[in-house]
Structure 1
Amino acid sequence: MRVFRAETSMNYVILLGFAAFALIPVLTILATSVSAPLGESGGLHLSNFAKAWTVGGFGRSLGNSVVVAAIVVTLSIVLSVLAGYAFGTMKFRGSTALFYLFLLGLMIPAEATIIPLFFDLRSLGLTDTYIAIAMPQVAQSVAFGTFWMRAQFRAMPVSLLEAAALDGAGPLRALTRIMAPAARPGILTMLVLVFMWTWNEFLIALIMAPGGRLRTAPLGLANFQGQYTAETALLAAGAVIVALPTVILFLFLQRHFIRGMLEGAAQ
């Protein structure tokens, strides 16, 4: 099919428009984060990041977020790969009904269950712990991850499993040696998404850790914003600090993320 030069130019114009729409807010925050705070002269103020880090106590909140994200991402990927492999490659009684039960985790919002869950965890003495913050997010992420990995494994040729069975490999060995490496782009895509959702989670961390000792990065930024509402430069610097780990991870795994998303869309 012949593509005219005017059509190609229009496509680039539209793409540049969307890129500008996405980048302008980011560039505005970056420019504000290095602008002059109140009462100081103009120029480039990189010291805003150090001041925001010290005053906002982001060291502790970022550390809490790293611990929570490590728990959620690790458990979610392991459980999702195992469940997706079972639903995608095996036939057993009740598999369809059980799979739709997993999908309920995608349909029920966290806001509908967070209060009863808080009272349940409080009765067990688990509030203000990493478990209370991480496990509800693991449940949410496994629901999506099972759906995602099931599609990844179902799209693979059946001949891979047949060849593994002929070589004497059991289901677990076939998963770890053949299926999981072949599904690496999908797994890394899920890793980026789950990390991003966990890092930006606000409500669960707010409700499940009322003592404030395990305040995560979004809560630390909200508390910092409440103290320095007029210091836009420091607020912008704090926002950049909180968003930086997600940006770094995405840039590091960008190629795998895009490949996994394209393969998922093709399925």
Structure 2
Amino acid sequence: MIVHAREKLMGRVILVILMLITLLPFISLFVTALHSPGTYPRGLEWPETPHWENFALAFQSADMLALLWSSMLIELGVVPIAVLIATLAGFALGHLRPTGSGIVFIVFLLGLTLPFEGIITPLYYQMRELGLLNTRWAIVLPLIGLFMPFAVMWMRAHFVTMPQELSEAARMDGATTAQLFWRIHMPLSVPAISSLSILLFLWTWNQFLLAIVLVDDPAKRTMAGALGAFQGRYGTDIPLLCAGSLLILTPTLIVFLVFQRKFVAALMQGSLKG
């Protein structure tokens, strides 16, 4: 009992330490954002007079409403389409398993090894040939393709664990493949689909590289991508830059906090099935 209590205490201490390490950058950003504009704060020194107006100034200077609208349009173009394609592909590879599915699976696995940085130059020339540079499509279309390897693997891992008896019983009742997918497997796949949607939402929102390379107009980028233009204008104003960074991070933190239970539940469900 004493050994178990020590291990439990040690585990909690480690978790607290890791939590503090994770929160330290956000605390540093927050404290720095409250200093006087144009100053160079040192460390985590709390200002004598917190300048809360820095957040309002950063919101107006960066035109956050336009950036928020642009990010939402990109999210609506990426997440639903990517989730739908990945769910269909995952169902085929993980449950139907047609001829050649093993080769397709290996191709998707290879796709996981491709870094965004390694294909940004070919993407630039491809988007230029298609006439999509400086448009939101230059972000939406590549992201859908780049998310596919992970998204398909995620949904395949879910459908692999689905019992074949469900499909066999539905087939005996005359269900077609489409009915099998939409009426039986889709309702059972809500946890996996919702958690995948959360991940793709967060990754799309925080996409920086594609936004600054393929789109010149900050108003057509993601909020994270627009931070590059904001930094160019206010790079010497550290408090204002930190305030803008926190404003950009806030929506992703809210989404994760709101849906964290569903996300953790989906991960636990997958681990229990596995």
Task: Provide the residue aligned with 2:227 in structure 1.
Answer: 221
Task: Give the Å deviation of 1:2.
Answer: 8.8
Paired amino acid for 2:60: T
- Runs of 5+ in structure 2 lacking a partner? 40-46
Task: Give the Å deviation of 1:44.
Answer: 3.7
Task: Give the Å deviation of 1:95.
Answer: 1.2
Q: CA RMSD in A?
A: 2.1
Distance 1:158 1:92 in 2: 14
Q: Say if 2:241 is the partner of 1:247.
A: no
1:194 corresponds, among 192, 196, 200, to 200
2:167 corresponds, among 161, 184, 188, to 161
SS of the counterpart of 1:37? coil
Q: Say if 2:214 is the partner of 1:208.
A: yes
Q: Say if 2:184 is the partner of 1:178.
A: yes
- How many residues end up aligned between the 2 structures? 266
Taking structure 1 as reference, are residues 95 and 48 closer, same or farther at Cα in structure 2, changes over 3 Å only? same
Task: Provide the residue aligned with 1:72 in structure 2.
Answer: 78
Deviations 1:59-89 (A, max 9, x none): 2222222111221111110000000001111
Distance 1:176 1:42 in 2: 60
Task: Give the Å deviation of 1:135.
Answer: 0.8
Paired amino acid for 2:134: D
Dislocated runs of 4+, deviation >4 Å: none
Task: Give the Å deviation of 1:155.
Answer: 0.9
Q: Say if 2:3 is the partner of 1:8.
A: no
Paired amino acid for 1:165: R
Deviations 1:208-242 (A, max 9, x none): 21354523212221222222234322212111111
Q: Is the 8 A contact 1:188 1:257 kept in 2?
A: yes
SS of the counterpart of 1:201? coil
Map 1:1-267 onto structure 2 (within 5 A): 4-38=4-38, 42-266=48-272, 267=274
Choose 6-15 or 104-113, whichever is displaced more.
104-113
Paired amino acid for 1:138: I
TM-score, normalised via structure 1 length: 0.91
Paired amino acid for 2:89: A
Choose 172-181 or 152-161, whichever is displaced more.
172-181
Q: Percent sequence identity over matched residues?
A: 36
Distance 2:9 2:239 in 1: 39
Distance 2:264 2:257 in 1: 11
